[in-house]
Homo-oligomer: A and B are copies of this chain.
Amino acid sequence: MKSAAKAQQAEDSAETGAQQIRDAIREAIVERRLSPGTKLSESDVGNLFNVSRTLARAALQALSYEGLVSVEKNRGAFVAYPSPEEARQIFSARRLVEPGILREAAARITPDDIAHLRQLLLEEGRLMSERGQTARRAEIKASGDFHLTLALISGNSIMQRFMEELVARSSLVIALYGQSTASSCGHSEHGDIISAIEANELDRACQLMLHHIAHIEADLDLRERKSLGLKEAFEL
């Protein structure tokens, strides 16, 4: 075995149409090409991907289970527009689980895994220095990949899936409430965490992780804004 990250489940390959659409939309949401609140009508989605409403609907349903889109009965699906309260819960959940994931990952980590993580870091750094939308989007993805890779290394596919959801939803939150232009969570902090793991200073690594998450959250301005409609603005 070369790497603890080998766990990749085989999948039956040939995803069933709906899954492809789901993945495509999810990627668009995470990379912030789709803004929170954007309407995703079943017909439009179906036409866009040249499939029937049946599949479009299935994809949207799936995304709603992940909290990335919200479907309102008889009204349609929208890219999720997390409330400040939801945002707090998302980061609260991350503070709760990421140290634990880190500990498990550290227990199983191999030199190959560390090399992989450093590779990701390098890529992330490269993207940070570039300009342009596409670089920014790739950077967002790379930044999340660090956290996801740790979950992968931990070898627990359940926690891995959960982290995927949390990272994706975090992207939405940052899109809505992020202040600093530098959308990246502190890049250097990722490196520090790896170093701490490598030095086998587990407690310190966890502390760094907590600080890192706090750092991301501190960059948010969690106040109601960008009223999705006048409705929500006045009914609460």
Q: Do A96 and B89 form a contact, CB below 8 Å, given A12-B73, A16-B73? A: no
Q: Indicate the size class of the contact surface on chain A.
A: 20 to 34
Provide the bound-state CA to CA distance between A16 and B75, in Å: 13
A101 within 8 Å of B (CB atoms): yes
Contact between A89 and B158 (Cβ–Cβ < 8 Å)?
Answer: yes
Give A100-133 interface residues, CB cut-off 8 Å to B. Answer: 100-101, 104
30 contacts between A and B (CB under 8 A): A12-B72, A12-B73, A14-B73, A16-B73, A54-B54, A58-B61, A61-B62, A65-B65, A67-B158, A89-B155, A89-B157, A89-B158, A89-B159, A90-B158, A92-B104, A92-B156, A92-B159, A93-B158, A93-B159, A93-B162, A96-B97, A96-B100, A96-B104, A96-B156, A96-B159, A97-B97, A97-B100, A100-B100, A158-B166, A162-B162
Cα A104 to Cα B94 in complex, Å, equals 13
Main secondary structure of the interface of A (DSSP, over half): helix
Query: A158 to B88, alpha carbons, bound, how many Å?
Result: 10
Neighbouring B residues of A100 by C-beta, 8 Å: 96-97, 100
Q: How many copies are assembled?
A: 2
Q: Besides A16-B73, A90-B158, A93-B159, 9 other CB < 8 A contacts?
A: A14-B73, A54-B54, A92-B104, A92-B156, A96-B100, A96-B101, A96-B104, A96-B156, A97-B97
CA separation between A159 and B14, bound complex, in Å?
32
The residues of B that contact A58 with a CB separation of less than 8 Å are: 58, 61
* Per-residue interface assignment for chain A, residues 154 to 169, with 1 indicating a CB less than 8 Å from any chain B CB and 0 otherwise: 0111110010001000
Whether the pair B104, A156 counts as a contact (CB closer than 8 A) is no
Q: Which of A140-179 contact B (CB under 8 A)?
A: 155-159, 162, 166
Minimum Cβ distance to chain B for residue A131 (Å) = 35
